[in-house]
Amino acid sequence: MSLLRLWAIARKEFIHVLRDPRSLGMGLGMPVVLLLLFGYALTLDVDHVPTAVWDQSKTEASRDFLSRFQGSRYFTLRQEVDSYRALEREIDTGHALAALVVPSDFADRIQSRRSAQVQLIVDGSDPNTATIAMGYAEVLTQTYSQDLTLRGLQRSGAPKPRVPLEIRPRAWFNDDMQSRNYLVPGLVAVIMMIIAALLTSLTVAREWERGSMEQLISTPVKPIELVLGKLAPYFVIGMLDVLLAVLMGKFLFGVPLRGSLTVLFGMAAVFLCGGLSLGLLISIVARNQMLANQLAMILTFVPAFLLSGLVFAITNMPHAIQVVTWFIPAQYFVTLLRGVYLKGVGLDVLSSEAGILAFFAIAMIALCTLKFKKKLA
């Protein structure tokens, strides 16, 4: 392999990228836009659930109970209704995702120390939100019930009851339980996979369509030199994207970075080599820019977004789909980034993911070299 020929190919590709503002804009601007869009729009938090209220009691006791929901960040009491028909209309129109119905005898039962029932209605169209909202409501109701019991015991002069079992939960790595801290590192991996493949999926196909590939074939440039030379400028752009993503994650989204920057950028470089080589392989096989672009989107965006564990836990997927995820490189980079970002672990813990990403990069470069043939047909 000649370094002089490799540099010539790389320099040619650098000049093309600099003369093509669309490629440069896509390479540097699109990751920022996607990270902003997904970073703010994509969330797993269930907060401020709009809730309609039908307070049939309208007493101090019912207002005290409802204040627990109003004071919680999980519910927002938006609308008061006076019938089940009005309550149903609020849920049907989407103005409310949940509804609380306080019966008319609520205060009487509370004062006489009898069991009182409150109805919670949730919109089950979104089962995830409905399940979480029901869990929040149950906790708030239990807390209110415990407070009433303690007040009654204090008024009667009885000693405070002993709790036989107490759980003291503690969340590691994400103390605030913010889904953004979990999602943003994964988004970096998915976005880099998509952008890397899109950047290089048009390079060789463009050469064939413009007729300049015949000139390259007539030169003594070897396939490995052509592959590495074409990857070089997009690798630089990709590493700049990683730097922008890390800075945005730290200063814009406030995601803690507890691990080593060296490990992060080193593994990002390995992952980029694999993603860029995958795009180049698509370009070599397709020989058509439109087809190459479509294949790149199908082979990167859908698997990386749905099967990488970014949003949907792989352990909850059917076993057959879990087997498919073994062949999704973004899955391993998502796991690695979350380990570096949130847990502060290194390659001693993430060695298997690092090894798979290195194998992916080497395999893609080797396939590009083998698939590219210096002949017209």
Q: What is the pLDDT of residues 156-193, one digit of tens each?
A: 766 766 767 777 888 888 877 788 888 889 888 888 88
| Same domain, residue pair 35 and 53 | no
| Same domain, residue pair 128 and 211 | no
> What pLDDT, in 10s, does the model give residues 62-87?
999 999 998 888 899 877 888 899 99
Pull the structure tokens for residue 240. Answer: 């700049």
| pTM as predicted | 0.80
Instruction: Write down the pLDDT at residue 217.
Output: 65
| Same domain, residue pair 362 and 230 | yes
Residue 125 near residue 92, CB atoms below 8 Å: no
Domain CATH code at residue 91: 3.40.1710.10
| Same domain, residue pair 69 and 89 | yes
Instruction: Write down the pLDDT at residue 163.
Output: 66
| Same domain, residue pair 208 and 146 | no
Instruction: Write down the pLDDT at residue 376.
Output: 45
Identify whether 165 is part of a domain.
no
Instruction: Write down the pLDDT at residue 360.
Output: 94
Three-state DSSP at 79 gives strand
Identify whether 230 is part of a domain.
yes
User: pLDDT tier at 52 (50, 70, 90 boundaries)?
Assistant: very high
Domain that holds residue 53: 49-156
| Same domain, residue pair 296 and 319 | yes
Instruction: Write down the pLDDT at residue 211.
Output: 63
CA 294 from chain centre, in angstroms, equals: 23
Instruction: Write down the pLDDT at residue 101.
Output: 93
| Same domain, residue pair 95 and 13 | no
Question: Domain count of the chain?
Answer: 2
Instruction: Write down the pLDDT at residue 373.
Output: 67
> What pLDDT, in 10s, does the model give residues 145-165?
888 877 776 777 667 667 677
Q: How far apart are CA 16 and CA 24, in angstroms?
A: 10
Share of the chain above pLDDT 90, in %: 29
> What pLDDT, in 10s, does the model give residues 258-306?
999 999 999 999 999 998 888 888 888 877 777 877 888 888 888 888 8
Q: How far apart are CA 91 and CA 70, in angstroms?
A: 18
**Number of Cβ within a 10 Å radius of residue 135:** 12
Identify whether 151 is part of a domain.
yes
Sign of the CA dihedral with 90 first, then 95, 101, and 104 last: negative
| Same domain, residue pair 39 and 56 | no
